[in-house]
Structure 1
């Protein structure tokens, strides 16, 4: 049982660190959406839903970044 708790704690720490790094890059609307997703998680040990929120936020960030990059290329 101890090893299981270590595993959960380690993965939770990785998700938290990745979330902090990504959060700094998000725009205002993306931050709000990300926080709303995290707030809907009932069990704070729920790694699956935490990871899903992180992935959705990362996808949103990448889509906006790609859109902005394409927009810049069109006007140069």
Structure 2
């Protein structure tokens, strides 16, 4: 089962890429943009979802790269 990935601020500065439910970060980087690219690559590979958080921890953006429960018709 693929884990959803979260881009979250690190309390010591920088940004972390974390798998859902993991206590440790998969990767720690300096910028949110860099963390987002890494997390996007992981979610595309696993077919899971990406959650990008704001510096205050609130979810800013959410993208699905896997089994979308509500695919558009057409």
- TM-score calculated relative to the size of structure 2: 0.31
Q: Which of these two proteins has the greater Rg computed from alpha carbons?
A: 1
**More contact order relative to length (CA 8 Å, sep ≥ 6):** 1
Structure richer in helix, relative to its length: 1
